Amino acid sequence: MGKDWDRVSTHPDHGVSDRLEALVASGELKPDPAQRAMAVRFDRLLGEVHAQRPARKSSALGWLFASRKPESASAPKGLYIHGGVGRGKTMLMDMFFELAPVKRKRRAHFHEFMADVHDRIHKHRQKLKNGETKQADPVPPVAASLIEEARLLCFDEFSVTDIADAMILSRLFGELFQRGCILVATSNVEPDNLYKDGLNRGLFLPFVDLLKRHVEIVPLDSLTDYRLEKDSGLPVFRHPLGDEADRAMDAAWRRETAGRDVAPATISFRGRTIVVPQAAGRAARFSFTDLCERPLGAADYLEILAHYDTLFVDHIPLLGAERRNETKRFINLIDTIYDHRARLFASAAAAPEGLLVTRKGTEGFEFDRTVSRLIEIRSTEYLADHKARYDGK
């Protein structure tokens, strides 16, 4: 167990509160009492995580015996932070993640993590089919492999929309928490509203109870959406739809693909083929129909972004009640683009805040995040992040 934990300096500059105050002092952030209070909670968790290491290593062989028994009793409670978009949840969690004195830690978008889980389950079932294992239940070995890689899990934008995810979460995290997992997550909704109106939601509710036992649930009630202040109005989101928007998208596509051959492409993924109507270098062009009216999920979008870091999406329509499935896919698409700092050029029937016509159920909560992210994707700060991440690829 000793290899899981790093000693860190106890100097006060190593706290989330100190990082936040330094940004305020430099003028990069405005003073925000709600953010300050949340930073204090993160500092408390940092202290609990730091104290855990020496407590478990009381003798030269303590780590050997500790590794043979569940650690859930000694693992500190994590944090589940919920609140409106752009309030600073992700920023504070990222500060905590960087400072956490844990070697084995993982920070991921929740959809990306679940895609990894389903891949591991699929591989285990293949081993069972091939006679390479006798363990019929894939969940315990998958949980064991996950905890071996990361004891601290930090999820940005915890959101459950997929029934396959919903049905497995209680068993998966039951195993993870029993093995000493510490969970920190941000979300737009409180746990009781997760997977709201979802199919067979009753089977998901045990996970909510499990979550409440293992994390501290805290709202972040800052009154300012800081992402709105970043909007530079760069012409990468054209609306309304029509000839002018089409011409602007065509001109942007020519500029982005200048000097490269443009041709259709395909991506082989999990025994299926994802069709890319137009591709050139690291840029790909789709219609809304291509990406959101076909049975694609977060894992498919992740695979597309493994090949392309600039996406063009034409003809995003108004999203009414009759397009509920398409709306869910669009939310997942924008989450994936944003989390990977990919560039987006899009034409749509309305500005981001006007796209969702019917605000109902989980999509109503989650689309606020989508709007905020579509706005931030247009900002100069976001484009600078993209350049820093993808230059040289």
Here the CATH number for the domain that contains residue 93 is: 3.40.50.300
DSSP, residue by residue, 143-208: HHHHHHH-SEEEEES-----HHHHHHHHHHHHHHHHTT-EEEEEESS-GGGTTTT-TTGGGTHHHH
Token pair, residue 287, equals 């219609």
Number of domains in the chain: 2
Q: Are 22 and 147 part of one and the same domain?
A: yes
Q: What is the dihedral of CA 38, 43, 46, 48, to 10 degrees?
A: -100
The share of the chain scoring above pLDDT 70, in percent, equals: 87
Q: Beta 272-280 vs 263-269: how paired, if at all? A: antiparallel
* pLDDT for residue 9 is more than 50: no
Q: Give the number of other CB atoms < 10 A from CB of residue 224.
A: 15
pLDDT on residue 3: 47
Q: Are 214 and 282 part of one and the same domain?
A: no
**Which of 184, 199, 219 is the last residue before a domain boundary?**
219
Q: Are 182 and 273 part of one and the same domain?
A: no
Q: What is the dihedral of CA 119, 124, 127, 128, to 10 degrees?
A: -140
Instruction: Beginning with the edge strand found earlier in the chain, give each strand of the sheet holding 237-238 in spatial order.
Output: 237-238, 343-348, 310-316, 283-287, 272-280, 263-269
Q: Roughly what angle, to the nearest 10 degrees, separates helices 139-149 and 110-129?
A: 130
Q: Are 203 and 311 part of one and the same domain?
A: no
Supply the CATH number for residue 286's domain: 3.40.50
- Rounded Cα distance between 225 and 390, Å, is 27
Exposure b/e, 93-127, CB count within 10 A at least 16 = b: bbbbbebbbbeebbbbbbbbbbbbbbebbeebeee
Q: Are 239 and 210 part of one and the same domain?
A: no
pTM comes to: 0.62
Q: Roughly what angle, to the nearest 10 degrees, separates helices 16-25 and 33-56?
A: 150
Q: Are 109 and 8 part of one and the same domain?
A: yes
Q: Please compute the mean of the pLDDT values over residues 93-116 and round it to a whole number.
A: 91
- Neighbouring residues of 35: CB distance < 8 A, sequence distance ≥ 6: 20, 29, 87, 88, 92, 220, 222
- Rounded Cα distance between 233 and 56, Å, is 53
Is 180:45 a contact under the CB 8 Å cutoff? no
Q: Are 293 and 194 part of one and the same domain?
A: no
Q: Are 212 and 272 part of one and the same domain?
A: no
Q: Are 149 and 268 part of one and the same domain?
A: no
- For tokens 């989980």, the residue is 362
Q: Please compute the mean of the pLDDT values over residues 28-55 and round it to a whole number.
A: 86
- Condensed to tens digits (0 to 9), the pLDDT of residues 193-251 reads 898 878 888 889 999 999 999 999 999 877 666 655 554 545 578 999 999 999 989 98
pLDDT on residue 7: 39
The share of the chain scoring above pLDDT 90, in percent, equals: 54
Token pair, residue 207, equals 């996970």
- Rounded Cα distance between 80 and 182, Å, is 11
Q: Are 73 and 214 part of one and the same domain?
A: yes
In terms of residue numbers, what domain contains 351? 227-390
Is 370:272 a contact under the CB 8 Å cutoff? no
pLDDT on residue 359: 76
What 3-state class would DSSP assign to 301?
A: helix
**Which of 166, 187, 219 is the last residue before a domain boundary?**
219
pLDDT on residue 254: 87
Q: Are 242 and 210 part of one and the same domain?
A: no
Q: Are 292 and 200 part of one and the same domain?
A: no
